[in-house]
Amino acid sequence: MWQWFYKLGSPRHFYDMTTAFLPWLYGITFFLLIVGLVWGLGFAPPDYQMGDNYRIIYIHVPSASIAIGGYVMMACMAAMHMIWKIKMADIVAKVTAPVGGMFCALCLFSGSFWGKPTWGTYWIWDARITSTLILLFIYVGVAALRSAYDSESSGAKAASVLTLVGVVNLPIIRYSVDWWNTLHQSASNLSLRVEGTNPPEIWIPAFFMGFALFGIFLLAVILRSRNEILVREKRTQWVQDLLDRDVQEGLQRA
């Protein structure tokens, strides 16, 4: 087990390993996405208060969770790079910033369309909404700070420091509805044993959509990581052999 984790620090091993299971990840993600969309948008019953407007949760809630979870992953990778100088950790941290930022933007965008018919406005400076907007700014700042340096190592170090500092915003997002009297509702309880919770025909498709969007997040991170590996390792022999093999296969298919 530890040897497997140790190999993940090798760009070549990461590239070879992801080549093997990417087709499976594509298939599973596509299946979950189709089932979640069809079930959630076509067969889940309307909410007794919000009607069909509640269906935005099938996009909004998973994107919010992924935005926060993606930042946690990026922070862990930044810490691993700063402490142990693991090359793959820096690559994953770099590619996660724009992907996590897009999910954070999707969270805010979908929440705005839910807020208009529910609260009567697209935007309000609510504690959770504002702290989520700050998270988006941190995502953008981390990506911009890294690209502002000519030196790859200097940019990685500066971005890692900013990433770790930005972790303080995560508990604010999580507990803002408990610490302050905010307009944003708290998390829904999905337990079947609690009276008044969401019925299975509502929360089961939400789980399908949650795992589907998480699969899309993983696919984006993995594909961007593979591209970054090829750019950073372009002078190595294994990358040259890989490119030569792809060229030969392309000529044979032509």
Report whether pLDDT(43) > 50: yes
Q: What is the per-residue pLDDT across 171-183, written as a single tens digit (0 to 9) for each?
A: 999 888 878 777 6
Tell me which residue of 62, 64, 56, 49 sits closest to 196, measured CA to CA: 49
Contact 114, 53 (CB under 8 A): yes
Q: Domain segments of the chain: what residues?
A: 20-44+53-185+208-253
Say which DSSP state 47 is in: B
Triad 225, 158, 84: Cα angle to 5°: 65
User: pLDDT tens across 107-159, in order?
Assistant: 999 999 888 888 888 888 888 999 999 999 999 999 999 999 999 999 999 99
User: Which residues lie closer than 8 Å to 10 by C-beta, 6 or more apart?
Assistant: 88
**What local confidence, expressed as pLDDT, does residue 203 receive?**
86
Distance CA 207, CA 13 (A): 32
